[in-house]
Structure 1
Amino acid sequence: MPSGGARLSIDLSCSAIAATVSQHGTRVPILIDGRLTMPLGVAIGPAGQLYVGLDATAARSLPADHRFVDNPTGLLGMPVDASASAQPDPVDLLAAVLRHIGHYAAHQVGQPAAELTVTIPPAWGPRRRGHVTEATTRAGLPSPALVTAPAALAAYTAALGLTSPEGSCVLVCQADRHPATLTVLQTVDDGYRELATRQLDGVPDLDHLITHRVVYTATDDNDPLRTAITHPAEDTAASRLALLESVRTARHLLAEQERAPILLPAPRQPAVITRDDITAAAQPLLDQLPGAVRDLLDAADIDRGHLAVVVLRPADALPALTDQLTDATGVTPTLVEHPHALADGALTLTATHQPGMPAGAARLPRVRLRISDLTGALLIGASSLTLLLQAVLTADITTVDSWVVGARTSLPQLGTAGALAMLTAFAVAHLAPTTWLAGTSTASTPEPTTGSLIRRGYLTAAVGGAIAATLYGLATGTAVGFDYSPYLRWTLGAALPLAACAALIAATAPRIPADALPTWLALTRPAITCALIAAAGIFLMRAALTLTTPIQTNATAGIAGSLGAALLGAATALTASSGRLIRAITAPGLAIGYALVFSYNTSSALIVGYLVALTWWGTQLTAHTLRLAFPTVGTALRRLVDRPNS
């Protein structure tokens, strides 16, 4: 069975980017900006801002101070010109493109990608492959598995039922982009092995060939458009790009109809072309194909009889290419025109039909720790200390002859302070698997796995939170000068259930499948807002009770106390429930109920209710972790429970 995490596949080998996600065994094509494929172009603003997914038509409407890069992948591996000013970093451009695609993929399937596959041209070596890996890291995506485009196309046809015996060969022709590429693959037990590849570099781009033919057919000898096409100049670049874009549009139309118009620069009349015109313009490509196939087979050291399958990624409106390839190979090509064929085929090659690796062996992408990441933990910690200080400073201390014989304060409030100290430790532990403090890892100090970080973080949280709660109880007894035993029972007693949950999470979470980690990490983040609301409510309740007694009342204090009780009720409901509908119903109801029943005698019970809800949150999180870590045990238990009813 395939793993249940989201596996993203991105095709960078074609003239437009396509992306597919495999989730729970289902392939989902990703819509990027509402399109099945996204142009490669990137616009660079004057301040360095990047706009991705632009084609040549959209680039013409850019302001003059914007720079347009039509294909960032074409810049990978090129030497950097030190004399060029503000030369864009192609890795940064590609990272922006990948980040954009990853955002849409995560939004469409509801979770970030746990695995990444990238399809690349067969000619890319270690330098450009390294650039792709670096770009995915900058984009915050997992480390990619790289698949060459011919292997992805062969795998796609194999998934459709076109089989080739092990040891036989597959010839793949990619004519949909410039330069056209021919590759011979040999089928092996774990996929395909590349034997030889060749690019038809001596042939101009098909769009340029068609443009040249149309211009020389539709204009006379003195037309300056001929000179603009033959000898491009900077002042004619806009009209030349517009004409090329019109040719591309006409080729797409000819795939479905017999004739298509090409708009020539005014005041010239539009030209009308047919598929025969495309064939005539592409004659240099067609003439070179037989010799290229013959040289390729020689380079691969095979004969035509070794070819079991020929796969063709065709050019638009050029059916003659199929016939030419059939004559050259002796095998009728299988046409693959689906825009997501390469992304799907790459997923087939990289699919793992075994359970995914556990968190103990995985490494999630990590980011440098910032102050903003600690804000939530700092706020919960500050709330915990505030409740502790309020309980101590408002304690009613009874003395006889300078001896403290009694001290009355809100013991449940002290328990909440201890529980919030434990929750602060949870918030810090949540950051451990995804952030780091020091520099990059080295061979002598390798980066720890995500499972190791989870274990260390939550074990430290269990111990550190329990110690903090213990210190709270001892500090309270010391501050009021009375026996610390009742205070310690409350502070430590409220924190110990959460500490036990943290210890269980530390022991079992490294067994969670790596593809389930992103979703699990999102669930483990403490509800900071709920904790702050609860702390504010308890603070207001205690403040109101210190201004009133069962005999004397204070109207302002009563309103403040009721408001605090309402806040505590809402926080209790939000902490104990997770569904939006349940929260929308229970939060207002519990807030009103707490406000109505709040009094000197019921305040402790209301606070205990919140402590129960907080313990329930920790218990649910631990149970979910155990279900992910031991799925077979959960299934067995459900079967055992259901057996008496069957």
Structure 2
Amino acid sequence: MPANDLHLAVDCAAWQITAASETAGRFQPVLFDGHSGLPNGVYTDPGTGALITGAAGLAAGMADPERYQPDPLGMLYASAHDDGTPDPIAAVSAVLAHVANVACSQAGIPITTLTIVDPRTWGHRARHRLSQAATSAGLPAPNIVSTAAAATAFAGGAGPFVLVGTAAPDLTILDLSDGSQQLAKARICDTTAPAIDEALVQIAVPDGSIDRDWRMAREVQQVRAILAVQPRAPLLLPEPHPPAAITRTDASAAAQPHLAQVDDHIKQLLADGDIDIADITSVILVDDDPIISDLEIALGATSLPAPIRLRDPHAVSYGALRLVRPSSDQYGETAATVRLPRVRLTLASLARVAVLAACSVTLLFQTIATADPYTWGIDIIAVLWPEENLALAAALAVLTGWAAAQLAPTTWVMSSGADDQTTTGLLLRRGFFGAAVLGLVVSGLWGLGTGVAVGFIDDTFVTAALIGAAPIAACAALIALAAPRIPVQQIQGWLHRINPPVTFIAVGAAGVCLQRFAYGTVFYPDMIWLRGTAQFLGAILLGVATGCLATRQSGLRLFAAAILGLGYMLIANYTTVPYLTSAFLVLIAWWALGAAATTITGSTPRAATWFNRWSNPLSSTRGAPS
């Protein structure tokens, strides 16, 4: 898959979630504060109603168990919603958002494909509810694969038929010749004997005088996990009961009545799948659990092949990544034919827009405040003013619209927008055309407003503003034309690539303002030191920002920022500052042109080929006979 795409697989086990991600063919586990698993429950804060996930939610739930939902995905699957528990869709959305945030922070890129691993068979309505939860978390619609299919994909089991066992315990037969189709599944149990977890509790408290809630069930699962690697484990019991020691022998005794039925269950599975035992060519056992070891022994007494054990906690997630590989062309879909998941617009989403708008307005007001009019009598006959500052303010006004346009395909403002069927391509086209047109209009108003504010109406104000805004507005218009043809698998990476470099622009704008403050303000004699401080600091900031905008390579960017920051500090003065500001404005326009070129080459393969030949003339002659 492309380097800018991130595929996240989430394995939703009974008590914890494990996840793994893939980008550019590289698999890596998702770690939660250094741990492989994340508690999959959700706690509802009684004061604010906020949903708390992960270890923090579990800690709160242990103290207040009534407000903790240990299995929100199970509630969503069953469409169950008890009083006092959170809405299942909101709860699952909160858990998925937690996992996605950790995965994105580790990979540094947004998620483009989501796969959920679950042992259950999901019907149409359950799938729809899960898709709603993913969309609310800002994630794409999920693929859903079974635990058995994902485990088989990781183990590389040979077909045509594979038997997969888990610590539930259960057995599943898959037909690999038919896309890992599930032929039959059975839970291994003896209906006359207590369940394995119940039997372990009875061993610890023979008289049964104990309250059984989700905390007790979770404690038993932790004991089973410890027994996979140690011969003994403490089972913590609620007061007044002291902790009990559980051994592997106890676990084997609890599982024995059920595993004694393995032969009968295998016969029933073979009958349901309409195959013979000789047709099964691979056996895969999932989970590192003492019950799995006993199941392996029980299966060894049959004529089945020797099983493959999967002990890696991320094995199932890795298998899901292998099983669900996004195709290279996504069936030919483009932005014009798909809809990205959209979430409600928040104040945090507008941070980039607000920073650019603040820079533009600040430069505008400083241009007006530091203009120096020349008068003849009571008439203003000329004005000495920083044309480059007004041009930069106008350019940033267009970039403000540009940043807002990027939010259009992934956010909605009104609640009705949640179900908006408008395609991503149409939203992009509207957004960037709007940015171009409104940016030019605002730039013209900036010019007119400057003339009115200084009391001197002249075309040069509007001309300077439009000169600064026109190149970026033209690039926004080109993006509006080309964006709907971008392949769907490239949309997320493309949106990241054309994000305005707000940090560098804000630093550069601050440098320009400080320079203008130093040279356009009259200081009292005892405050003259402030001019020098503002001059040097502004020169350094402008030089650093210019160096960072000049290249995208981190090493060169650091070198250029250091050189230009020092150089600008040495050469900046009243006569050179306009040229330095103009150079910064040119680099912003160059960045916008690069973003437009990226859009055109990404949407038009022929343009990409032509651009490569133009940028590297030797490429057109490679392979030609000498």
TM-score interval for Structure 1 and Structure 2 normalised by the shorter chain: 0.7 to 0.9
> Quick check: 2:329–2:489 contact (8 Å CA) kept in 1?
no
> Quick check: 2:613–2:619 contact (8 Å CA) kept in 1?
no
Query: How far apart, CA to CA, are the structure 1 residues paired with 2:492 and 2:195?
Result: 44
Taking the TM superposition and a 5 Å limit, the aligned residue runs for 1:177-326 are 177=168, 180-189=169-178, 191-200=179-188, 202=191, 204-212=194-202, 214=203, 225-228=205-208, 232-234=209-211, 244=220, 247-249=223-225, 251-253=227-229, 259-260=231-232, 273=247, 278-304=251-277, 306-313=279-286, 315-316=289-290, 318-325=292-299
Query: How far apart, CA to CA, are the structure 1 residues paired with 2:422 and 2:494?
Result: 19
Equivalent residue letter for 1:526: P
Taking the TM superposition and a 5 Å limit, the aligned residue runs for 1:527-546 are 527-542=501-516, 545-546=519-520
- How far 1:9 sits from its partner (Å)? 0.7
Equivalent residue for 2:394? 418
Q: What secondary structure sits across from 1:118 in the alignment?
A: strand
Equivalent residue for 1:220? none
346-355 or 357-366, which deviates more: 357-366
> Quick check: 2:340–2:410 contact (8 Å CA) kept in 1?
yes
Report which of the two structures shows the higher radius of gyration computed on alpha carbons.
Answer: 1
Query: How far apart, CA to CA, are the structure 1 residues paired with 2:60 and 2:389?
Result: 66
Taking the TM superposition and a 5 Å limit, the aligned residue runs for 1:512-523 are 512-523=486-497
- How far 1:132 sits from its partner (Å)? 2.7
Equivalent residue letter for 1:209: A
Query: How far apart, CA to CA, are the structure 2 residues paired with 1:268 and 1:405?
Result: 94
> Quick check: 2:425–2:485 contact (8 Å CA) kept in 1?
yes
Taking the TM superposition and a 5 Å limit, the aligned residue runs for 1:165-564 are 165=160, 169-174=161-166, 176-177=167-168, 180-189=169-178, 191-200=179-188, 202=191, 204-212=194-202, 214=203, 225-228=205-208, 232-234=209-211, 244=220, 247-249=223-225, 251-253=227-229, 259-260=231-232, 273=247, 278-304=251-277, 306-313=279-286, 315-316=289-290, 318-325=292-299, 330=304, 332-356=306-330, 357-371=333-347, 373-374=349-350, 376-388=352-364, 390-391=366-367, 395=371, 406-440=382-416, 446-473=420-447, 484-542=458-516, 545-546=519-520, 555=528, 558-559=531-532, 562=535, 564=538
Equivalent residue letter for 2:405: A
- How far 1:343 sits from its partner (Å)? 1.9
Equivalent residue for 1:6? 6
Equivalent residue for 1:614? 588
**RMSD of aligned C-alpha atoms?**
4.3
Query: How far apart, CA to CA, are the structure 2 residues paired with 1:251 and 1:66?
Result: 29
Q: What secondary structure sits across from 1:227 in the alignment?
A: coil
Equivalent residue letter for 1:146: I
Q: 2:113 aligns with which of 87, 112, 115?
A: 115
> Quick check: 1:32–1:38 contact (8 Å CA) kept in 2?
yes
Q: What secondary structure sits across from 1:384 in the alignment?
A: helix
Query: How far apart, CA to CA, are the structure 1 residues paired with 2:547 and 2:383?
Result: 32
Query: How far apart, CA to CA, are the structure 2 residues paired with 1:270 and 1:330?
Result: 37
> Quick check: 1:253–1:260 contact (8 Å CA) kept in 2?
no
Q: What secondary structure sits across from 1:423 in the alignment?
A: helix
Query: How far apart, CA to CA, are the structure 2 residues paired with 1:269 and 1:374?
Result: 53
Query: How far apart, CA to CA, are the structure 2 residues paired with 1:376 and 1:145?
Result: 32
Shift in CA distance, 438/333, structure 1 to aligned 2, threshold 3 Å: same
Q: What secondary structure sits across from 1:111 in the alignment?
A: coil
> Quick check: 2:518–2:534 contact (8 Å CA) kept in 1?
yes
Equivalent residue for 2:142? 144
Equivalent residue letter for 1:194: Q
388-397 or 120-129, which deviates more: 388-397
Q: What secondary structure sits across from 1:525 in the alignment?
A: coil
- Structure 2 residue ranges without an equivalent (≥5): none
> Quick check: 1:43–1:54 contact (8 Å CA) kept in 2?
no
Q: What secondary structure sits across from 2:261 in the alignment?
A: helix
Equivalent residue for 1:37? 37
Query: How far apart, CA to CA, are the structure 1 residues paired with 2:91 and 2:78?
Result: 14
Taking the TM superposition and a 5 Å limit, the aligned residue runs for 1:81-120 are 84=83, 86-120=84-118
Shift in CA distance, 363/172, structure 1 to aligned 2, threshold 3 Å: same
> Quick check: 1:106–1:112 contact (8 Å CA) kept in 2?
yes
Shift in CA distance, 186/2, structure 1 to aligned 2, threshold 3 Å: farther
Equivalent residue letter for 1:108: Q
Shift in CA distance, 100/580, structure 1 to aligned 2, threshold 3 Å: same
Query: How far apart, CA to CA, are the structure 2 residues paired with 1:16 and 1:386?
Result: 50
Shift in CA distance, 184/263, structure 1 to aligned 2, threshold 3 Å: closer
- How far 1:7 sits from its partner (Å)? 0.6
> Quick check: 1:59–1:68 contact (8 Å CA) kept in 2?
no
Equivalent residue letter for 2:130: V
- How far 1:226 sits from its partner (Å)? 1.5
Q: What secondary structure sits across from 2:180 in the alignment?
A: strand
Shift in CA distance, 547/62, structure 1 to aligned 2, threshold 3 Å: closer
43-52 or 2-11, which deviates more: 43-52
1:470-529 CA-to-partner distances (Å, cap 9, x unmatched) read 444455567778784444442222222212222232233344444444344334333445
Percent identity for Structure 1 against Structure 2: 33
- How far 1:114 sits from its partner (Å)? 0.8
For the pair 1:164 / 2:137, whether they are aligned, the reply is: no
366-375 or 496-505, which deviates more: 366-375
> Quick check: 1:41–1:54 contact (8 Å CA) kept in 2?
no
> Quick check: 1:7–1:115 contact (8 Å CA) kept in 2?
yes
Q: What secondary structure sits across from 2:117 in the alignment?
A: strand
What TM-score comes out, normalization by structure 2 length? 0.81
Shift in CA distance, 488/337, structure 1 to aligned 2, threshold 3 Å: same
Shift in CA distance, 489/11, structure 1 to aligned 2, threshold 3 Å: same
> Quick check: 1:118–1:146 contact (8 Å CA) kept in 2?
yes
Equivalent residue letter for 1:617: W
- How far 1:118 sits from its partner (Å)? 0.5
Pairs aligned (count): 610
> Quick check: 2:81–2:87 contact (8 Å CA) kept in 1?
no
Query: How far apart, CA to CA, are the structure 1 residues paired with 2:516 and 2:219?
Result: 77
> Quick check: 2:79–2:126 contact (8 Å CA) kept in 1?
no
What TM-score comes out, normalization by structure 1 length? 0.79
> Quick check: 1:548–1:557 contact (8 Å CA) kept in 2?
no
- How far 1:90 sits from its partner (Å)? 3.6
Shift in CA distance, 625/280, structure 1 to aligned 2, threshold 3 Å: same
Q: 2:576 aligns with which of 583, 588, 602?
A: 602
